[in-house]
């Protein structure tokens, strides 16, 4: 079988146009603040794209670029200022932060109502027990793509490779909430292929280019590649696209699969924050 390519770019475009339409009907603009510390080139590129996305849909964006040497206290001060700023509904601190700044300290300072990344422990906890709150953007984007392409989740065997707080764990939770039977694999898993071969839905978020080869996937599986490794200007996923796309029924590639959806979900979360704050 030749897999249908899951087009995250197209789906994200559709979501942006819906958001643009919604925002055009609002009296007050939603606002997103993005803090970047230092000059990590990947972070710079992500932050620039976030700014561009906001502009396109009419969300006010405030990009705060801080020097690498900034102290944890100064960063915290900035976050406190944004928590109080009525023009700002969403706050995102671009990760990774420099080693001398504790990421947990920074994230814990964000008002959970403005935590559009869904990284604050209050949001992570609410999410874990199925209460309303912000769902992290990449996991939300993965589920949205599966739904957009009518890929059934209920009762299916879903395997997630990767267990990060930001991606692997929340994706596994969302798949479980959608009634999949979920297995989480990670760097200490023995015989990875024994698990991946059993997956109707395989989500890979590790950061090892080409880790998943055709012989490791089930015929007609849906494959979602969340791995991103930069080599120069090229982005590489965790899935060996050429071989796997001949065996799977669906494949979300890198680039053009989940990445654009992460950005679109950030805009959606910003609108959710706006509605919670401005409309009670
Ligand atoms: N760095 C890479 N991905 C992300 C993300 O989703 N949110 C934040 N804040 N930083 C990131």
Active site residues: 50, 94, 117
Output the pLDDT for position 232.
85
pLDDT tens digits, one per residue of 48-60? 999 999 999 999 9
Q: Please, is 24 exposed, middle or buried when counting C-beta atoms within 10 Å of its C-beta (0-12, 13-18, 19+)?
A: exposed
The alpha carbon of 89 and the centre of ligand 1 are apart by a number of angstroms equal to: 18
Output the pLDDT for position 280.
72
The alpha carbon of 247 and the centre of ligand 1 are apart by a number of angstroms equal to: 32
Output the pLDDT for position 204.
98
Q: Is residue 92 lining ligand 1, measured as CB closer than 6 Å?
A: yes
Which atom number of ligand 1 is nearest to the Cα of residue 93?
9
Residue among 75, 82, 91, 94 to mutate when testing ligand 1 (max atoms within 8 A of CB): 94
Q: Is residue 115 lining ligand 1, measured as CB closer than 6 Å?
A: no
Protein residue with its CA nearest to atom 3 in ligand 1: 95
Mean pLDDT check: name the lowest of 105-114, 146-155, 225-234.
225-234
Protein residue with its CA nearest to atom 2 in ligand 1: 95
Output the pLDDT for position 279.
86
CATH architecture designation of domain 27-111: 3-Layer(aba) Sandwich (3.40)
Q: How confident is the model at residue 265 (pLDDT cuts 50, 70, 90)?
A: very high
The more confidently predicted of residues 280 and 165 is 165
Q: How confident is the model at residue 42 (pLDDT cuts 50, 70, 90)?
A: very high
Which atom number of ligand 1 is nearest to the Cα of residue 166?
6
Q: Is residue 59 lining ligand 1, measured as CB closer than 6 Å?
A: no
Segment 195-207 shows an average pLDDT of: 98
pLDDT tens digits, one per residue of 154-195? 999 999 999 999 999 999 999 999 999 999 999 999 999 999
pLDDT tens digits, one per residue of 13-27? 999 999 999 999 999
The alpha carbon of 138 and the centre of ligand 1 are apart by a number of angstroms equal to: 9
**Omega of the bond leading into 102 within 30 degrees of 0 (cis):** no
Give the β-pairing of 90-93 and 181-185.
unpaired
Q: Does domain 137-258 have CATH number 1.10.1060.10?
A: no
Question: Does residue 1 have a pLDDT over 80?
Answer: no
Which distant-in-sequence residues (6+ apart) come within 8 Å of 59 by Cβ? 19, 23, 29, 30, 31, 32, 53, 267, 270, 271
Output the pLDDT for position 72.
98
The alpha carbon of 64 and the centre of ligand 1 are apart by a number of angstroms equal to: 15
Q: Is residue 94 lining ligand 1, measured as CB closer than 6 Å?
A: yes
Q: Is residue 95 lining ligand 1, measured as CB closer than 6 Å?
A: yes
Q: Is residue 93 lining ligand 1, measured as CB closer than 6 Å?
A: yes
Domain residue ranges of the chain, discontinuous segments joined by +: 27-111, 137-258
Question: Do 27-111 and 137-258 come out as alike in CATH topology?
Answer: yes
Segment 84-110 shows an average pLDDT of: 98
pLDDT mean across residues, the chain: 97
The alpha carbon of 218 and the centre of ligand 1 are apart by a number of angstroms equal to: 31
């Amino acid at each position: 079988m030749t897999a249908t390519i899951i087009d995250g770019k197209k789906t994200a475009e559709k979501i942006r146009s819906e958001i643009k339409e919604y925002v055009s009907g609002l009296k007050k603009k939603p606002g997103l603040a993005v803090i970047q510390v230092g000059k990590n080139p990947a972070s710079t590129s992500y932050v620039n794209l976030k700014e561009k996305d906001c502009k396109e849909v009419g969300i006010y964006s405030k990009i705060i670029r801080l020097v690498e040497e900034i102290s944890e206290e100064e960063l915290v001060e900035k976050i406190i200022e944004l928590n109080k700023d009525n023009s700002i509904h969403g706050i995102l601190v671009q990760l990774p932060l420099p080693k001398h700044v504790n990421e947990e300290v920074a994230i814990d300072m964000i008002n959970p109502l403005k935590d559009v990344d869904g990284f604050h422990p209050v949001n992570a906890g609410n999410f874990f027990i199925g209460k309303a709150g912000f769902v992290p953007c990449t996991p939300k984007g993965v589920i949205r793509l599966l739904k957009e392409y009518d890929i059934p989740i209920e009762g299916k065997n879903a395997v997630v490779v990767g267990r990060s707080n930001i991606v692997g764990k929340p994706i596994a939770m969302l798949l479980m909430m959608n009634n999949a039977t979920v297995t989480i694999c990670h760097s200490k898993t023995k015989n990875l292929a024994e698990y991946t071969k059993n997956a109707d839905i395989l989500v890979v978020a590790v950061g090892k280019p080409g880790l998943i080869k055709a012989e490791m996937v089930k015929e007609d599986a849906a494959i979602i590649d969340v791995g991103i490794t930069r080599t120069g200007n090229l982005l590489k996923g965790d899935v060996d696209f050429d071989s796997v796309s001949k065996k799977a029924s669906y494949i979300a590639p890198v680039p053009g699969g989940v990445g654009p959806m992460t950005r679109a979900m950030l805009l959606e979360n910003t609108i959710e924050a706006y509605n919670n704050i401005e409309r009670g």
